[in-house]
Structure 1
Amino acid sequence: MKKLGLFFMAIGLLSMTACTSTKLTSSWKTPDARIQQENKIMVIALVPAKERSLRILMEDNLVSELKKEGYNAVSAYATYGPDDNLSKGDEKAALKKFRGSDVDQVMTIAMVDKSRERTYVPGYGAYGPYGNPYYGGFWPYYRGWYGRMYDPGYTQVNTKYQWDTNLYDLKEKKLLYNAQSASVDPPTAYRQAYLFAKQIVKDMQKQQLIAMK
């Protein structure tokens, strides 16, 4: 009986884990675009001011992953501090600031949405966790109906993030790359930033925007 209880607990934990995800939903690259390793890439996370710690994590993890591949990436927060004032100036002022830092490309990570959604998760249902209750004898049948009668399900709240990533070339004044991604119930801010950075760099390699190391 104790082992059975542990089994159902494990099933519950696996169900909760399955609800969490961080994945790339779409991406696009300008034909023939390719980043040179000597070019300097400024990474800027555009998030609400109250999410400053998330901004730092998003920038630092993407910078770290790009550096692992041999690219010259830097964080806007680390370079300019929390009050970079880029949004308060005009385009000429922002470009002048980037050129003063020898920046060739700018990579923005924008949090386009953060929402909370309630969903109902049903219980075991008519047949319980084992499928057809008539298969396998008494216990699957009993457990299936027990689950239906005594496990009415529950309501859970999911937190969803949607990210939009763009890579701009300052010299050519054009967009080189765009990626859309989503995170559902990330266990920690660090984990979300880590997985996001991994997936973006992997996709940039797949798109042949950056070279495989």
Structure 2
Amino acid sequence: MDRQKILLEYFRELSDSIGPCNWWPGETPFEIAVGAILVQNTNWANVEKAIKNLKAANGLTPAGLRKFSPDELQELIKPSGFFRMKAQRLDNFLAFLENNSAECITDLTDRDTSSLRQDLLSVNGIGPETADSILLYALNKPVFVVDAYTRRIFNRHMLIPEDIAYEELQDFFMDVLEEDVDLYNEYHALLVVTAKRWCKKSNPDCDNCPLRRFLEN
């Protein structure tokens, strides 16, 4: 199997069918990082409501976020669900920035990607998908983000096992694709759209999916 060729063919098919996704939505890198934490275990529509609340309260900067009491922060992010847990995770993220003498996440841009990823993973509440989303979308680091959608699509196409580990699934892409932030960004976004629109968890619409021809081969 020429994995590089197959993955690029999938990308081109999705890109031609769906068009640019312009993902991740966010006006600043810090807002993107906050969104990556808030989107855990919920959908983006709920995160948008929480982001809107934070923005209205001038809370989408490190200094702005720090001014809230725990109760105030929980109320503002309540639409995202698991608001007590996520408020603590945001506090943990702020502490991470402070411990690294960073006024904002962009102060860490020049750090080595691998070591920065390990430091992010050491923050309680930041797992591989969240860390990689921050690296790719907030800091423009060439890290391919994978998720349950990625796993679902490529397992159904019999290219990966269902129980593949996160790092192994990530390597499935990064081992053969060029280190390209724009490619990684758009590829992940296209897979998310595909999973939500056609390759649904239940009742997938394979007949209308742009990737249907790959199932026929």
Query: Which range, TM-score by smaller chain?
Result: under 0.3
Greater relative contact order (Cα 8 A, min sep 6): structure 1 or 2?
1
Structure number with larger C-alpha Rg: 1
Q: Which has the higher strand share?
A: 1
Q: Which has the higher helix share?
A: 2
